[in-house]
Amino acid sequence: MFDLDAYLERIGLNGRPSIAQVHRAHLTSIPFENLDPHQGLPVSLEVEDLERKLVTERRGGYCFEQNLLLKAALEALGAEVDMFLARMRLPKPGDTRASPFRPAKPSVVRPRSHLVLRVSENGASWHADVGFARGILEPIPFGPGPTQEQSGWSFRVVEDGSELVLQKLAGDEWVDVYGFLPQPVPLIDVETSNWWTSTHPRSLFVTGLIVGVRGNDGTGTLLCDWSELSLSEQTPAGTSVTPLQREAIPELLATRFSLPGFALAADGRLVLTNAG
């Protein structure tokens, strides 16, 4: 039985909040992080494990964990939720103009390693996604449609052949974030993608480090060790990037991302030493 009250307390809500309220509160309360795959630990998608990790232990998670927890909560509130697997649209390796969280035009075909939700309630269908550190803040209408403005950011969904593509306005240019077939997938497909993403030695979530939080105003803070270690702050007006020394990570996790208890191991990877 999903503990809705504990989940709502974790994200600062109570009662019977709307889908949009839950989505924004979840996104701004639970950090995005891949610290388990980074430590060599596979990720469980069992609902009780998600509740233990993200709610009780007040950790974060990456897209599969975040969106499956959201799915369980919205279903407990009476909504219907379908799952879709998306491909991130990433730039060519070595392209310094973009990163996994600042995408350029698609030039590398990635696996379907991102989870997206369709939430249906009272005859309306919504595109929901709390598993992307710099994505939508609140659900947007599902399918192609007009631009959606959210706290200074602009998003839209367009058709590209058989795929639906989420785009984000960067300056005066629309850039692709991810694309997906509008065909729901069963949980076994999600589990397979999650296994690859959290365990494969070439998965960027195994080889790299990504931790992100969103503010209530939509600002984003991202700690990333994808190609070089840095801390970035993103607002609609622009992005500032600060290079980091590895020794600074544990304190930043505790103070900026509400993730205490991590330390650097001898091999330079982060390990959880206590529950904070």
Instruction: Tell me which residues are annotated as active site.
Output: 63, 114, 129
Contact 254, 27 (CB under 8 A): no
d(CA 51, CA 66) in angstroms, rounded, equals 10
- Phi then psi for residue 98, to 5 deg, are -150, 165
Residue position matching structure tokens 């599969």: 64
**Based on the number of CB atoms within 10 Å of its own CB, is 253 exposed (0-12), middle (13-18) or buried (19 or more)?**
buried
- Phi then psi for residue 207, to 5 deg, are -85, -20
Token reading at 261 = 């208890």
CA 189-191-194 angle, to 5 degrees, is 110
